[in-house]
Structure 1
Amino acid sequence: MNYKKFQFNFVANIKSKKKFKMKKKLAITLFLIAISQFYFAQTTRFIYQVSMKSDSTDKTNVTTENARLDISPEKSLFYGEGRIKRDSIIQRMRETRNFDRNTMQNLRTSIDYIVEKDLVKNITYFKTRLGRDQYTYEEDRKMDWKILPETVKIGEYETQKAETFFAGRKWYAWFTQDIPFQDGPYKFKGLPGLIIKLEDEKGDYSFDLQQSKKITEFPNFDNRFGNPIKVKRTDFEKQEKIYRKDPVTFVTNSFTQGGGPTPPQSMGGGNRPGGGGFRMDPDFRKQMEDRLKEEVAKNNNPIEILSK
């Protein structure tokens, strides 16, 4: 065989194999990108089990509820499953003006907030109720993560551990790159994959992924109870401190200042005379005062530790 021809064929074969390998790698890369884009094009609901030790005087008392993290390419919503049920029943009560106090008493939830994340603009909004008013603010604190070398398999997912200090607590998160969402429960986000498990250093709060499924649309919370009051986070925290110090006075003042839904009133002269004020049903007032005092007393260990 001619040596030059043999050498040419040999080199050509090597180049052909290299091209084949490059094409194969490119095909795999394009396939992974396509899968990722398809995954992101879906709206997915992740259901977490949330465990809370809200009472620092009784750490054996653990409240457990389910919460949802709904994610689309543009935004995500984190909220309690109990919130959906409660809002629907309360809305029906408002429409019929038929307030069943026993039913309302059974609708209490510890996840009485909504966290909405604009994934395009990288903005997090927190929405909750203080007294009878709805508040919303934009989260202005940066979440700095330290990714640790520790890995562990949680369920079907390979996860890696990370840590951060946020809102007065040190948090540990286990995230997986198998799910290409840089998101997680509550306000947590920014890791290179979905947060599967999250807990604070003291074990007071934990979020554990239970299941996921595709959904067609987000629940609609907008304007269900009027427009929320937009404030800065620091101003909201000031209001929260006032509420925790004296919840009865806080709520009573919000009633007498008008606006928002009206509570049950006394049968005689219960309307607002002269366009201002009202006379609240004494039994309802007593129940409200007892409930507010009990809630604040038992919820002395909030997820975010307020500065003094």
Structure 2
Amino acid sequence: MKKLTLLFLAIAFQLSFAQTNRFIYQVTMKPDANDKASEFTEKAYLDISPTKSMFYGEKRMLRDSLISRNIKTGNWDRSQFEDLRSKIDFLVIKDLGTQKTSIQQRIARDNFEYEEDRKMVWKILPETTKIGEYKVQKAETEFAGRTWIAYFAQELPYQDGPYKFSGLPGLIVKVEDADGDYSFDLQETKKIAQMAEFQTFGSTVKLKRTDFKKQLAKYEKDPIATIQSQSQGQGFGGGRGRGNGGGGGGNRTQDPQRQKETEKRMKDEIAKNNNPIEKE
């Protein structure tokens, strides 16, 4: 009887460990360096399974779900997407076995994926405090042109965290940059049946991080030219799908006045996004 009890407990432990855990963060951002009073907040999810983790915006998940439903029904209403525009329009996927981190992001009509090639080196400090129900310890790192201060909880045995942050002996409960422009704060935890799945809506081009930055800079300099190039099959993916926050595209002829208004809106949005999370 005792052996059966121990076996049951062992199986229950393994099943519990095999579950996917979802950690819900509130992300606070000040993307416009010229208007620090303008602050945006969004919810983001960090799903952790035994083999990998994935970080993504809640609005990204809701938007992809809506797109999939509209494809099936053929009922497209663009007004449904107005509240789903996101500043967390990317996926961060960490392979917990190889310790490799890859980022998937769409630029206009093309999907891109690159592997993070910079190692995050932490300095663990003796300072401890309490955040919510967790006792946490302080750590610091220099990454992508910013100084980051993190607080991790050893009672949450995951060497992981939001965005690209990982490598501490416990889940990162809070992390913020020294300038106060970006912060990630754990709000809720739950167990889920399986990790979220996303459709790419076209092929994905894998490239180096430095080359991805060049493509992004090219788009930010002239978004309309980038979209037109991709629409004519001159982009990397040559795919046909929905655009990201940068807008659509396609071979449809647009009214000149409307196209001019769209171009102005896109350039205004890019101009206000002059304080990115990664400065380098």
What letter is aligned with 2:84? L
- What whole-Å deviation, never above 9, does each CA across 1:250-297 have from its counterpart, x for those lacking one? 22221222732268xxxxxxxxxxxxx934222663453233212201
Contact kept in structure 2, 1:255 and 1:262, CA below 8 Å: no
Please, which moves more after superposition, 238-247 or 120-129? Answer: 238-247
The answer to whether the aligner puts 1:132 opposite 2:118 as a matched pair is no
Quote the residue 2:247 is aligned against: none
Judge which range, 223-232 or 144-153, deviates more.
Answer: 223-232
SS state at 1:106 partner:
helix
Aligned runs of 1:1-308 on 2, under 5 Å? 40-95=17-72, 98-221=75-198, 223-257=199-233, 259-261=238-240, 278-282=251-255, 285-306=259-280
Offset of residue 183 of structure 1:
0.2
**Structure 1 length as normaliser, TM-score?**
0.78
CA distance in 2 between counterparts of 1:34 and 1:146 reads 37
Structure number with bigger Rg: 1
Q: Which moved more, 1:109-118 or 1:289-298?
A: 289-298
The structure showing larger relative contact order (alpha-carbon pairs under 8 Å, at least 6 residues apart) is: 2
Q: Deviations over 1:181-231 (max 9, x none)?
A: 00000000000000000000101000000010000001111x441221111
Alpha-carbon separation, structure 2, partners of 1:290 and 1:244: 12
| Alpha-carbon distance in 2 for matches of 1:289, 1:96 | 30
SS of the residue aligned with 2:137? strand
Could you tell me which residue of structure 1 aligns to residue 246 of structure 2?
A: none
Q: Structure 1 residues 42, 145: CA separation in 2 closer, same or farther (over 3 Å shift)?
A: same
Q: Using the TM superposition, give the Cα deviation of residue 106 of structure 1 relative to its aligned residue in structure 2, in angstroms.
A: 3.1
Letter of the aligned partner of 1:297 in structure 2? A
**How far, CA to CA, are the matches of 1:166 and 1:39 in structure 2?**
34
Provide the aligned C-alpha RMSD in A. 2.3
Looking at structure 1, the residues matched to 127 and 70 of structure 2 have their Cα atoms a distance apart, in angstroms, of 51
Q: How many residues align?
A: 260
Deviation string 1:142-187 (CA, Å, 9 cap, x unpaired) is 0000001111111111100000011111101000101000000000
State how far apart, in whole Å, the 2-side matches of 1:200 and 1:119 are: 25
Give the residue type in structure 2 aligned to 1:278.
N
Cα distance in 1 between the residues matched to 2:231 and 2:94: 31
Q: Select the structure that is richer in helix.
A: 1
Give the partner amino acid of 1:78.
Answer: F
Q: Which amino acid aligns with 1:285?
A: Q
Question: Cα–Cα, structure 1 residues 133 and 289, in superposed 2: closer, same or farther, change >3 Å?
Answer: same
Structure 2: runs of 5+ lacking an equivalent: 1-9, 243-249
Q: Which moved more, 1:97-106 or 1:201-210?
A: 97-106
Aligned counterpart, 1:14: none
User: Which one-letter code corresponds to 2:265 in the other structure?
Assistant: R
Distance 1:153 1:215 in 2: 26
- Do the aligned residues in 1 keep the contact of 2:203 with 2:239 (CA within 8 Å)? no
How far apart, CA to CA, are the structure 1 residues paired with 2:17 and 2:145?
Answer: 33
Contact 2:45 2:55 in 1 (8 A): yes
Q: 1:77 to 1:284 in 2, by over 3 A?
A: farther
| Alpha-carbon separation, structure 2, partners of 1:214 and 1:44 | 5
Q: Name the CA distance, whole Å, in 2 between partners of 1:227 and 1:47.
A: 29
Residue type of the partner of 1:52? M
SS in 1 for 2:64: helix
Measure the CA separation in 2 of the matches of 1:103 and 1:285: 21
Q: How far apart in 2 are the matches of 1:106 and 1:208? A: 22
Distance 1:40 1:300 in 2: 42
For 1:132 and 1:151, locate their aligned partners in 2 and report how far apart those are by CA, in whole Å: 46
- 2:172 partner amino acid: I
Q: Distance in 2 between matches of 1:304 and 1:39?
A: 36
Return closer, same or farther for 1:193/1:262 CA change in 2, 3 Å cut-off.
closer
Deviations 1:226-248 (A, max 9, x none): 22111111100111111122222
